[in-house]
Amino acid sequence: MYRKIIVAVALGGIEKGEKILRKAASLLDAGGEIIALNVIEDIPTYVAVELPANMVEDAMQDSRDQLETLVATTGIAATVEIRNGPPAKAIISTAESHGADLIIVASHVPDFSNYFIGATADRVVRHAKCSVLVDRQKI
């Protein structure tokens, strides 16, 4: 069905990441590609000055390690990519730069501030130029 799928994985809910990675594999065309993506949010400058200089680099390496472990555990062939910045913007940018035709993102059951779907998922749905599958997650 799809030839290039971005699977946005939040490492705080790695079990959700496994579920959406398997969903992506079931929707992938033969010869297609899955890109497992994690986004490290930027740290505000006023906070960053109090943190160790290499904290962002360490967080990116830790994310890469966790995502590579997830991919290896599932046995699904996927390229691992780590980006930093605002999550929705980074997810959309990754999809555009890779020419993806589907983004899969998990969404928790929201509170009143983002009632219909999670804030990141909501932004991705509204601004992505390709199809988006939102996998609803129960907390």
Instruction: Sketch the domain layout of the chain as residue ranges.
Output: 1-5+9-83
- The three-state secondary structure class of 82 is strand
Quick check: 110 and 139 in contact, CB under 8 A? no
What's this model's pTM, rounded to 2 decimal places?
A: 0.87
What is the pLDDT at residue 114?
46
Residue type, 90: A
What is the pLDDT at residue 11?
86
Q: pLDDT of 81-120, one tens digit each?
A: 999 999 999 999 999 999 999 999 988 655 544 445 568 8
CA atoms within 13 A on the CB side of 86: 9
CA atoms of 107 and 121, how far apart (whole Å) = 6
Task: Note the helical H segments in the chain.
Answer: 14-27, 45-48, 55-74, 87-98, 119-127
